[in-house]
């Protein structure tokens, strides 16, 4: 038994933490972001076995398990451990750098497992298990909700897919996202910092309304930069790049949460911006140029 699924990666420009509820399905974030056509493809091979085993491969590197993977699989199988499972993730974006890769991995995993075993869950129900894993291990808040649906989205109600709500903003095919990755940042560390979380929620006030009043990538970028400037968790590396692109008149911001700089803009402008980013890239893998994913996560 085997199956594959894909999830787009995702960049959040600004957000508000919603974690007052005791029910994990109701926790998440409000905010706005964009899903990228570059994401995560997950393939699973499953067989019944008297010696159950879980093996995970991420970009050709073998792991024997991860907490998130085990959590999602246990939820889907309802504790049935009679299977040996091989999970192969092909990740097209930097890991731990603000691209929602952990959410994309477990979301595509949930869809692939559901497909391979014929469990019969809807896409939304399967995605809820991925959301629960992110909440449990503090690797994300609204990422799974956004990646489930794709597009340029505003998260207007927090929670898991099927509970949280998004509103998609139409955008033309002449827009792209260009990003420069400098280094990973621990999402869990940020979400465990109470003072920073308070600052995040204060800084996000009014931004969703401002975006809904003027629904465009250009306004999204202005608001994202306003938010990033307000919470001010820039590293020196980010400051150096932002200072230069500001001089050239480009509107860029920090991907939340990672040491990455991005812009969502007309493709021609994105190509010009990429020339500046390239000077700071350690390798070609740290420069990401992507169109917009408009379908969201799906079985392949």
Place of tokens 């879980």: 54
Angle at Cα 266 formed by Cα 262 and Cα 270, nearest 5°? 45
Residue 189 is predicted with a pLDDT of 83
Spatial distance between the Cα atoms of 13 and 33, rounded to a whole number of angstroms:
5
Fold of 1-300: Ribosomal Protein S5; domain 2 (3.30.230)
Q: Which of 131, 92, 91 is nearest to 111 (CA)?
A: 131
Phi/psi class of residue 14: alpha, beta or left (left: φ > 0; alpha: ψ in -120 to 50)? beta
Percent of the residues in the chain that have a pLDDT greater than 70, as a whole number: 99
pLDDT band at 64 (very low <50, low <70, confident <90, very high): low
Q: Say yes or no to pLDDT of 162 above 70.
A: yes
- Give the whole-number percent of the chain exceeding pLDDT 90: 83
Instruction: Round to whole Å and give the CA distance between 276 and 300.
Output: 36
- Whether the pLDDT of residue 152 is over 90: the answer is yes
Work out the average pLDDT over 135-150. 95
Name the more confident of 82 and 267. 267
DSSP 26: G
Residues 265, 103 contacting (CB under 8 angstroms): no
The span from the CA of 167 to the CA of 169, in Å, is 7
Q: CA 40 to CA 14: how far, in whole Å? A: 23
pLDDT of res. 187: 79
């Amino acid at each position: 038994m085997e199956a594959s699924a894909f999830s787009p990666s995702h960049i959040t420009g600004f957000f508000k933490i919603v974690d007052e509820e005791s029910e994990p399905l109701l926790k998440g974030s409000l905010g706005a972001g964009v899903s990228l056509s570059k994401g995560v493809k997950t393939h699973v091979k499953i067989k019944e076995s008297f010696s159950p085993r879980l093996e995970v491969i991420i970009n050709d590197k073998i792991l024997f398990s991860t907490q998130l993977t085990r959590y999602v699989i246990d939820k889907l199988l309802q504790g049935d451990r009679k299977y040996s499972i091989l999970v192969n993730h092909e990740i097209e974006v930097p890991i731990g750098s603000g691209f929602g890769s952990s959410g994309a991995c477990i979301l595509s995993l949930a869809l692939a497992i559901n497909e391979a075993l014929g469990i019969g869950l809807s896409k939304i129900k399967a995605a809820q298990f991925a959301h629960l894993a992110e909440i449990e291990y503090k690797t994300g808040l609204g990422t799974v909700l956004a990646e489930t649906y794709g597009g340029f989205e505003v998260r207007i109600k927090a929670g898991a897919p099927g509970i949280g709500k998004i509103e998609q903003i139409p955008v033309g095919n002449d827009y792209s996202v260009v990003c420069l990755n400098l280094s990973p940042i621990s999402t869990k560390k940020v979400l465990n910092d109470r003072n920073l979380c308070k600052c995040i929620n204060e800084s996000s006030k009014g931004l969703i309304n401002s975006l809904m009043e003027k629904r465009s990538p250009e306004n999204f970028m202005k608001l994202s930069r306003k938010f990033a400037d307000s919470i001010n968790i820039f590293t020196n590396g980010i400051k150096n790049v932002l200072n230069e692109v500001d001089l050239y008149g480009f509107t860029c911001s920090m991907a939340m949460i990672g040491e990455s700089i991005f812009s969502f803009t007309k493709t021609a402008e994105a190509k010009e911006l990429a020339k500046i980013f390239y000077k700071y890239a350690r390798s070609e893998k740290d420069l990401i140029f992507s169109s917009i994913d408009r379908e969201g996560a799906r079985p392949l």
